[in-house]
Structure 1
Amino acid sequence: MAGALVSPQVLSASKAEHALQATDSKVEALESQVNQMSQMLQSMQDELTRVRTAASRNASESSAKVQELDQWMASVKSTPVAERTKDNMAFFRGGYGHGNDSRGTFGAVPGGGTLVGGIGASGDPLVGAQKADKDAFYFGAAMDFSLNDDLFGLMDNTQFLAELGVEYKEFADDTYSGVTGQNVTTNQLTISVSPKIKFLKGSDFRPWLIPAGFDVNIISPPSGAVTVLNAGLQAGIGADYKIWNNIYVGADARYHETFDTIDGVDTDGVTAGGYIGFGF
């Protein structure tokens, strides 16, 4: 009877102990889950902090870049707009020319060479016995090419240019050839390449000078020795004025000097006239 009464008590205690152990296990499992969730939350918090820090740094860098861009735009807007200038020029010339010596006159020289009927000649037989006029008219064209704006650093607002030009001069058509008897037009073609110094860049009025340029002279008719070419120098001064939209009018005077004649033909002389130019 007593054994029967004890057994239920023992059984009841055993069940309570098992229930307590099960509760403890659940509590431990719950604490473990809570700890895991806490670690996950801490990780999420750390990641969120990192993202916020990175975003703040990126925002700071972006703001700095925006400020730098704003400063650059402000500096560009405040910089004066440079006016694009047309420093080269094509121009067309014309005016008066004068030679130092006249062409023409010759004398017969028996045995001096076969010219007409076995008679030689000295002088300028192709022009004729009569002297041609020293005065002439001329026309031509030239181009200026700008090389720098400060004369190689020596003078501000002073251009150094290269001028390439061609000029035709006609002296007279009132002489008669000693060879053919025909009326002769005496003329001369000059091709030149010259350095040019032009002052007051940026001004409408621009004086200039050519200290010394290179000339090649071609004469017609040929000399008595039947030569046509002679080389020399030219020097000149002038000025031009911009009248409207890169259109210029100007005047110049030039002296042409050679160091020798073309077998007796002197090509030295002066020209003076005007020109109209177009900047490009």
Structure 2
Amino acid sequence: MINKTKLALGIAATLTIAGALVSPQAMAISKADRVAEAANNKVDALEAQMQAMQAELSRLRAETSRPRSSADAGKVQELDQWMNSVKSAPKESKKSQENLIFFRGGFARNDAKRNDLLTGNQFAGNVLGGDRTNKDGWYIGAGFDFGLTDNVWGLMDNTDVMAELMFDYRNFGAKDFKGAAPGAAAGTVGANPACTLINLAAADTVAAGQAGTLNCKGVTVSQLTLAASPKIKFMKGSAFRPWIIPFGLTINVISPPSNGVTVLNPGMQFGTGAEYAIWKAIKVGADVRYNLTGRSVDGVNTDGMTAGGYLGIGF
């Protein structure tokens, strides 16, 4: 019995000593495992937080770039389409403006011939006959068109309204007064009954007391017309462009003056024509215009028409 008790005590002592030897190592291993596990848990937590932050950042970016409404989306799409069309459109060369300076000339005709004192036809009882001046003549002139609108202020597309300022000089020929009436004495009024009063009153180299018949060489019948008119040009963008002048204001200056020594007569003009661009800004055209005054200037009628061509340069 005693031996068994001793044996049991010995075994217990042995186990106690072995446990005392093993316990520090086991405790050390267990603590290290816990530290490692805690570190791993912290890493996992940090990684989870980083992933959450990245997800939130991505969501914010997408929210910022996304249009707030369908209307905004439509505007963005329309803007993109416009930008693409502008980029893809070919670049146009600089176009000349529709303003035009032109030089014109051609045929002129008055409705009536001159028949007044200063053209000789009413002097000395029309001994050489009346209506001796010409109706037909020629003209030269110039002017320019200045663009006001290219769509008649929104009423008609591809149609320009221009402001035209123009002048022309019309020549109806010179009347010669060198002939003498049969049987008239030299140096007298009868020697040249068609000579104008101004020429007869002039002095020359003939004997004293005689009329100045040597100055009776002739008189040129002419007219200067200044005009301001609206001009409507059709077919904008085309090389061929017809146009009309519905009305315009004219100031007519006659030479020689009328019987009342009047030289000015206002009136209106109407016209139509067309032009063609032959090369870049160089254009040629033709027109017909009629000048209507409605009254004579102390017996001188300034109504008449012109027909001719012109050469223009756009600017």
TM-score by length of 2: 0.61
Tell me what 1:223 maps to: 258
Tell me what 2:164 maps to: 163
Shift of 1:43: 5.3
Matched, 1:50 2:56: yes
Gap change, CA 1:33 and 1:128, over 3 Å in 2: farther
Contact 1:173 1:184 in 2 (8 A): yes
Letter in 1 for 2:98: D
More strand by share: 1
Unaligned runs of at least 5 residues, structure 2: 1-34, 68-73, 127-131, 177-194, 203-214
Q: Compare CA radii of gyration and give the structure with the larger one.
A: 2
Q: For the residues of structure 2 that align with 1:241 and 1:125, how far apart are their CA atoms?
A: 42
Matched, 1:209 2:210: no
Contact 1:127 1:186 in 2 (8 A): no
Q: For the residues of structure 2 that align with 1:67 and 1:207, how far apart are their CA atoms?
A: 40
Gap change, CA 1:214 and 1:68, over 3 Å in 2: closer
Q: 2:112 aligns with which of 91, 101, 104?
A: 101
Gap change, CA 1:153 and 1:49, over 3 Å in 2: closer
Question: 1:70-90 CA distances to partner (integer Å, 9 max, x unpaired)?
Answer: 763146525896984632222
| SS of residue matched to 1:179 | helix
Question: 1:159-216 CA distances to partner (integer Å, 9 max, x unpaired)?
Answer: 3322211111122233554213554332211111112232333332222222221111
Tell me what 1:246 maps to: 281
Tell me what 1:179 maps to: 198
Matched, 1:192 2:193: no
Q: For the residues of structure 2 that align with 1:80 and 1:58, how far apart are their CA atoms?
A: 36
Alignment of 1:1-280 (within 5 A): 44-57=50-63, 69=80, 72-74=83-85, 76-77=87-88, 84=95, 86-106=97-117, 124=118, 129=123, 131-175=132-176, 177-180=196-199, 182=215, 183-280=218-315
Contact 2:116 2:299 in 1 (8 A): no
Tell me what 2:208 maps to: none
The alignment-based identity, stated in percent, is 40
Letter in 1 for 2:260: A
Shift of 1:276: 1.0
Contact 2:165 2:227 in 1 (8 A): yes
Count of residues in Structure 1 that have an aligned counterpart in Structure 2 = 255
Question: 1:75-120 CA distances to partner (integer Å, 9 max, x unpaired)?
Answer: 65258969846322221100111112222432xxxxxxxxxxxxxx
Contact 2:119 2:175 in 1 (8 A): no
Q: For the residues of structure 1 that align with 2:54 and 2:116, how far apart are their CA atoms?
A: 111
Aligned CA-pair RMSD: 4.6
Contact 2:113 2:133 in 1 (8 A): yes
Contact 1:172 1:187 in 2 (8 A): yes
